[in-house]
Structure 1
Amino acid sequence: MIAVIAAWVVVVLHFAFAFAETVGWTQMARRFGYSKEQADTTRSLALNQGFYNAGLAAVLGWALATGHSATVIAMLAYVVAMAIVGAVSVRWTIFVIQGLPALIALGLALL
């Protein structure tokens, strides 16, 4: 049961990331230290990333709601892998914010 709750936390987080990247990118980018010009330049990239996060959250939520445990495990592993890429290519806090909750949920799901 705790594994399911942890996985739902990952779903909620990724829907929040999707919203921030698709709707609130300019404000979020500036909060992370990007200039207005940088935020404007990267807006289309953020929109694309936001839709990936929404899709990830939707598939993970569907798998949780329908009991497809193999899909839940695969999606959580995917989140961990993408968080590692983000940590290496952008900043380490991406792993803490996105990867750690998924890693915890994955570990609990595999018990």
Structure 2
Amino acid sequence: MKLVAEILIGVVAIEHIYILWLEMFAWTTRGRKTFRSLAPELFEPTKALAANQGLYNGFLAAGLIWSLLIDDSAWRVNVAYFFLGCVIVAGIYGALTAQKSILFVQALPAIIALLAVLLS
């Protein structure tokens, strides 16, 4: 189960690296295709805001990757709990305030990973 938990943490980290790329570097190109609910004229003026948001997603990914590199099992689990919890809270907040799909795309994978960590 530990391997499953680590794989799921890795998947959530990779997802947040993708979000970092999308929001920091591809907001006005790929972002338009991904976030269709936003008016096209909003992408250029919100480029800096999206980049800031992408940076935060990068911090989440870095914390999740860090949790996979820690030798001490207690610290590893606690760091994983913290960063998965952050992703879950961000996903729930995003689903309540922005798009409902964020609950399934962001929060649900983190919830599943957290359950795997709890069971390992």
Higher helix fraction: Structure 1 or Structure 2?
A: 1
Of 61, 67, 78, which aligns to 1:63? 67
Work out the percentage of aligned pairs sharing the same amino acid. 36
Q: Which residue of 1 aligns with 2:112?
A: 104
Q: Which residue of 2 aligns with 1:52?
A: 56
Residues in 2 aligned to 1:100 and 1:73: alpha-carbon distance in whole angstroms? 15
- Structure 1 ranges of 4+ moved more than 6 A: none
Q: Which residue of 2 aligns with 1:13?
A: 15
Of 83, 89, 92, which aligns to 1:75? 83
Task: Kindly tell me the number of residue pairs found equivalent between the two proteins.
Answer: 111
Give the unaligned 5+ runs of structure 2: none
Give the unaligned 5+ runs of structure 1: none
Q: Which amino acid aligns with 2:46?
A: T
What displacement does 1:90 show? 0.3
What displacement does 1:29 show? 3.3
TM-score, structure 2 as length reference: 0.87
TM-score, structure 1 as length reference: 0.94
Q: Which residue of 2 aligns with 1:88?
A: 96
Larger Rg: 2
